Structure 1
Amino acid sequence: MASQTSASLILLSFLLFVGGTLAGYLSAGELSASLTGILSEELSPILKLPKPLLALAVFANNLSKTFMAMLLGLLLAIPPILFILANGFILGVVSFEVVESKGILFLLLGILPHGVFEVLAAILSTALGVRLGEAVYARLKGKSFEVWRTLNLCLKFYFSRIMPLLAVAAVIEAFITPSLLSLL
């Protein structure tokens, strides 16, 4: 993913994430109670796990979601675009709720350390998914574009770059983030 096209896809994915985050933050007043309630209910059993199992659960969850977002890019790039918008939107709503209830420092300590790695992985997965969608679209238009070659390159990048980012994020989220939040 080192070409000019790749940089454009990464930028597009980043901008979609930022747009989703802003939309979530700005519309959070109406949605925050219901969405955070749903998220709390979903996450409550996971957060009670011992730290090593928590890290594994977070890693498996993020791995499956980013992998599917990338792979489903074969459906003309629509699923990865929806994935990154939804992730940004959820982050925006949660950020609003956390800032309102616990303050900006709690948000920064609770999200930033692992979020840097996790968000980068999501952005890169989205870019790969859009790349796959472009390959399929070009092929459908009769251009000689090797979809399988593109898929192979995307898979190699995913497993060599994105998977390690997700592993680092999961370890930070399970072991370091709780310690940072306990300082407040």
Structure 2
Amino acid sequence: MFLKEYIFSLWKFILAAFLVFVFAALKGYFSGQSSPSEMKVVLEQLQEMFGPIVEMPPFSQFLVVFLNNSLTAFLVIVLGIIFGISPFLVLLSNGLVLGLVVYFAQAAADWPTVFVLTFPHGIIEIPVIILACAVGFKLGKVSFDRIFKKQGSIKAELNIALGFFLKVILPLLAIASAIEIFLTSQLL
């Protein structure tokens, strides 16, 4: 299957993944508004977890971010076979965190600062994660169809998905990681 055809075959799954992500981001933003103290604790825990990365040299940061995002995308695709549950959870958690970050960033600064913090980071990475989740959703549907309708090939779809991961998702995640580490830090 050619790249263009494969991406076209994903359009419903991309739309579904995008809507889940947007819903979760809005939920995160409004949760920050309605329960700021509880949500601030969540962000502090995340900062504590990822804090050591900030202390690393830039190239090490790049490697950690790239490997983390690559592993996440890979697992989202492969575990998507289990009826798309993993991609759904990744979209929910990432959307919620983004919504919280945007809420607290705009509360502490202004919208241009929020834009500088999120745009370079999210211009490629968020769409690529949404794309990986769409691939996982498609694998989940093929798995569902294979089990309950006795049609489709999980193995064939998984091979196509893994090829797409290697040829499209990994290179885009490398670019996204470079932008996040080398560009965003320069803008701050």
Measured against the shorter chain, the TM-score band is over 0.9
2: CA distance between counterparts of 1:127 and 1:142?
21
SS at match of 2:56: coil
**Residue 36 (structure 1) aligned with residue 40 (structure 2):** no
Extract unaligned runs of 5+ from structure 1.
none
1-structure distance, mates of 2:7, 2:58 = 36
Q: TM-score, structure 2 length as denominator?
A: 0.92
1:17 aligned partner: 21
- What is the CA–CA distance in structure 2 between the aligned matches of 1:74 and 1:140, rounded to whole Å? 11
| Alignment partners' CA distance in 1, 2:115 and 2:145 | 42
Letter in 2 for 1:24: G
- TM-score, normalised to structure 1's length? 0.94
CA RMSD of aligned residues (A): 1.1
Q: Distance in 1 between matches of 2:19 and 2:149?
A: 30
Q: Which moved more, 1:26-35 or 1:127-136?
A: 26-35
Q: Is the 8 A contact 1:76 1:133 kept in 2?
A: yes
Of 116, 124, 140, 2:123 maps to 116
Query: Could you tell me whether the CA contact under 8 Å between 1:47 and 1:54 is conserved in 2?
Result: yes
Match of 1:174 among 174, 178, 181: 181
* Aligned residue pair count: 180
Shift of 1:71: 1.1
CA distance in 2, matches of 1:42, 1:120: 24
- Alignment of structure 1 residues 122-137 onto 2, 5 Å: 122-137=129-144
Letter of the 2:28 counterpart = G
Distance change in 2, residues 1:164/1:43 (3 Å): same
Match of 1:2 in 2: 7
Matching residue's letter, 1:35: V
- 1:155 Cα offset (Å): 0.6
How much identity, in percent, do the aligned residues show?
33
Equivalent position to 1:82, from 86, 89, 95: 89
2:161 maps to 154
Partner of 1:51: 58
SS in 2 for 1:70: helix
Q: Is the 8 A contact 1:32 1:94 kept in 2?
A: no
C-alpha deviation, 1:2, in angstroms:
3.0
Gaps of 5+ in 2: 1-5
